[in-house]
Amino acid sequence: MITYIADLLLISGAMAAGIYCIILSRRLAQLNNLEQGVGAAVQALSGQVEDLSATLGQARAAAAQSNGSLEGLTKRAEEVAR
């Protein structure tokens, strides 16, 4: 009699674990969906990083150009001051 109770508890525990695995599998599938969930967020962030990198490159080029023109103007100002 006790073995039957233990078997029933073991079977019910296995069924509960199986149901939990099915639920977890569905949640993970929704989470990795590229149209919604984390997949979409990662894809959007990746695009924003690329845009930011391009903008940063343009800003560096503009800063280098400004630096060059400021150096030239500084040299001219020093020559005029002498």
Q: Does the residue 70 lie in any domain?
A: yes
The total domain count for the chain is 2
Is the pTM for the entire model greater than 0.75?
no
Q: Does the residue 36 lie in any domain?
A: no
Q: Does the residue 57 lie in any domain?
A: yes
Q: Does the residue 51 lie in any domain?
A: yes
Q: Mean per-residue pLDDT for 43-69?
A: 92
Per DSSP, the residues of 17-55 read: HHHHHHHHHHHHHHHT-SSSHHHHHHHHHHHHHHHHHHH
Same domain assignment for residues 46 and 27: no
27-45 per-position pLDDT tens digit = 888 877 767 777 778 888 9
9-26 per-position pLDDT tens digit = 999 999 999 999 999 999
Domain range for 6 is 1-31
Q: Does the residue 26 lie in any domain?
A: yes
Same domain assignment for residues 45 and 73: yes
Same domain assignment for residues 80 and 45: yes
